[in-house]
Amino acid sequence: PKHAVHDFSEKASLSAALEQQLLDFVSASLPYHAGIEKPWRPIQAGEGYTKTSVLMHLQQRFAYGKGLYLELGCDTGDHFKQVKPGFARSVCVDPRPGGTRLMTSDMFFDLNPHFEDLELVLVDGLHAARQAYRDVENSLFRIVTDGAIVMHDCNANSESQASYPRRHAFFWTGDVFKAVIALRQRDDIDVAVGDFDFGVAVVLPRRRTSAAPQPPLTEHEVWNMTYA
């Protein structure tokens, strides 16, 4: 089906016009097959938008910082170190060394059923669709009313890149695209996807402002689709 995915990769910073497009979700969506109709271009450091630039922009745009920044999936912790200085509190959850809480995201949410000040979340963990969806749901249950959730790896470049478990792709996104498609079936949240850095999605806890995907998909169709 036809779709509109905003391409911000030609710009080096978030202009006012592009901010309006990204944050107000003007027709931004993933196609059902999770592909892109135009050539895919990787984002090199300093040459376009990344998940980090989106997180830092959201922090500045909505004056986050008095509360909690939560990162799910930390790898070495280098990315976390760039974002956390802007917040009064920050937590990085990963069962591997690099996180400040060495546990799974499910365990972390079980131990923390409520937060008073969760402002911004990055979901970038197992690269598994159902886990990513569950991480977003758990975050939505705890986030402040004007908070935001950022998801990484939402738009793979190839079938091997979108595989789960991982096959042979050097850059690997997993099947997170399914989680975004599932989220876009809902009317109680707003979702936009930027076509850069392997697909960066922004999820806001408010009623959708863009048109619902057509045709609507059943739960079975979403979770059993393939990239091809």
Tens digit of pLDDT for each residue in 38-67? 333 333 444 457 888 888 888 888 899 999
| pLDDT of res. 228 | 67
How buried is 75 (Cβ within 10 angstroms: 0-12 exposed, 13-18 middle, 19+ buried)? middle
| pLDDT of res. 168 | 66
CA distance linking residue 58 with residue 63, whole number of Å: 8
Q: How many CA atoms lie within 13 A of 160 on its CB side?
A: 5
The stretches in the chain having pLDDT less than 50 are 1-47
Number of other CB atoms surrounding residue 206 within 10 Å: 12
| pLDDT of res. 167 | 67
Closest Cα partner for 181 from 131, 117, 225?
Answer: 225
Helix or strand holding residue 184 (H, E): none
Q: What is the pTM of this model?
A: 0.80
| pLDDT of res. 8 | 34
| pLDDT of res. 165 | 65
| Contact (CB, 8 A) for 205 and 121 | no
| pLDDT of res. 47 | 45
